């Protein structure tokens, strides 16, 4: 996975059991987790110790061949060990439910961001701004954000471990989560609903910025300065082209890009075409039109998700992958 930006490590920060807690509500989840954790530790220890004690005390020996007593019920103790766990779990239920409502019900003044999942990438759109769909979820610190999420193909699940938030994303329906970040940094987003081959690579970065940085980021228009091949290389990763197309000649899901430019390609229809600028552009915008022989027709269209300059950048990048 990409290590370009320093992502806040899930393992190195936080406690032994939980990753760092960076939203206004993640702490309440941790409190409950730790409470039940310690309850479980003491409960398991208690049960284990009593069991081992009995094993030693009533071990079958020459002196202890027959049970001391055939006691087979004791109403008082049975009621105790039914009622006490009952009260405890009902308490936990109420606690969990109350926190669940806090996590689910968003406050009034949220900033809405649209989240779309598709095999196998996320992208984020900012309504009311001129921003193109972003590959990173960029949010300001200290501002309640509501995500309106949907999927383009199968079920996905949007998971931010540091915020203790997760929600399935479905086609044809919108699901919502909300949060308010408390720490500036870059954090991990996972897909946790199994969605196919590249499920484990369907991640994204959550970038929390100060409010000023965020306003500035919103204003940044299209990148017109980076040289095309370098921009293309960046897009290759950030637009998740790398999930299906290799640049080292190996076969993943789609055809490799290595030595592709200028070569001839046999199509499913039997036709042979030259891989040139037009073919690549068409394959990005209408991926289903000309399918390379032997590969599944699974690519989603990038129409509207890439600007003309970005498509050019990808073409230039593919050109650099040609060896002489």
Interaction residues for other proteins, span 90-149 (CB under 8 A) = 90, 92-93, 95-108, 144
The binder of other proteins chosen from 6, 11, 128, 324 (CB under 8 A): 11
The binder of other proteins chosen from 115, 139, 145, 191 (CB under 8 A): 191
Stretch that binds other proteins, among 171-179, 221-229, 283-291, 306-314 (CB under 8 A): 171-179
Burial (CB count within 10 angstroms: exposed 0-12, middle 13-18, buried 19+), residue 122? buried
Distance, CA of 279 to CA of 94 (rounded, Å)? 59
Stretch that binds other proteins, among 126-134, 191-199, 228-236, 305-313 (CB under 8 A): 191-199
Residues 95, 100, 106: CA angle, nearest 5 degrees: 135
Phi, psi (5° rounding) for residue 38? Answer: -70, -35
Q: Closest CB to other proteins among 129 and 250?
A: 250
Does position 189 bind other proteins by CB under 8 A? no
Q: Is 137 helix (H, G, I), strand (E, B) or coil?
A: strand
Region 264-323 residues binding other proteins, contact defined as CB under 8 A:
296
Does position 79 bind other proteins by CB under 8 A? no
List the one residue out of 24, 173, 204 whose CA is nearest residue 110. Answer: 24
Closest contact distance (angstroms) between CB of 238 and other proteins is 17
Do residues 146 and 108 lie in contact, with contact meaning Cβ atoms separated by under 8 Å? no
Stretch that binds other proteins, among 40-48, 225-233, 258-266, 299-307 (CB under 8 A): 40-48
Counting every residue, how long is the chain? 324
Could you tell me how many residues of this chain bind other proteins (CB under 8 A)? Answer: 100
């Amino acid at each position: 996975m990409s290590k370009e930006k320093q992502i806040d490590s899930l393992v190195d920060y936080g406690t032994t059991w939980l990753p760092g807690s960076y939203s206004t509500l993640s702490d309440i989840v941790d409190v409950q987790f730790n409470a039940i954790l310690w309850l479980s530790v003491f409960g398991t220890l208690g049960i284990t110790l009593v069991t081992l004690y009995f094993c030693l005390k009533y071990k079958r020996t020459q002196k202890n061949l027959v049970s001391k007593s055939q006691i087979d019920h004791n109403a008082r103790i049975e009621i105790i060990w039914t009622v006490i766990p009952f009260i405890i779990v009902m308490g936990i239920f109420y606690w969990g439910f109350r926190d669940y409502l806090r996590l689910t019900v968003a406050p009034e003044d949220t900033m809405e961001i649209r989240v779309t999942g598709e095999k196998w990438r996320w992208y984020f759109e900012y309504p009311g701004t001129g921003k193109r769909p972003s590959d990173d979820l960029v949010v300001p610190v200290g501002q309640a954000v509501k995500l309106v999420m949907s999927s383009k193909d199968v079920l996905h699940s949007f998971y931010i471990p540091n915020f203790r938030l997760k929600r399935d994303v479905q086609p044809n329906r919108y699901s919502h989560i909300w949060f308010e970040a408390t720490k500036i940094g870059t954090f991990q987003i996972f897909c946790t609903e199994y969605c196919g081959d590249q499920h484990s690579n369907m991640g994204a970065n959550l970038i929390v910025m100060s409010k000023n940085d965020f306003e500035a980021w919103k204003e940044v228009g299209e990148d017109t300065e980076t040289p095309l091949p370098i921009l293309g290389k960046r897009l290759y990763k950030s637009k998740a082209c790398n999930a299906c197309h290799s640049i080292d000649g190996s076969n993943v899901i789609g055809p490799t890009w290595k030595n592709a430019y200028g070569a001839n390609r046999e199509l499913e229809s039997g036709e042979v075409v030259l891989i040139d600028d037009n073919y690549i552009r068409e394959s990005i915008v209408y991926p289903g039109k000309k399918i390379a022989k032997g590969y599944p027709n699974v690519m989603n269209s990038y129409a509207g998700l890439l600007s003309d300059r970005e498509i050019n950048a990808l073409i230039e990048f593919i050109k650099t992958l040609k060896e002489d």
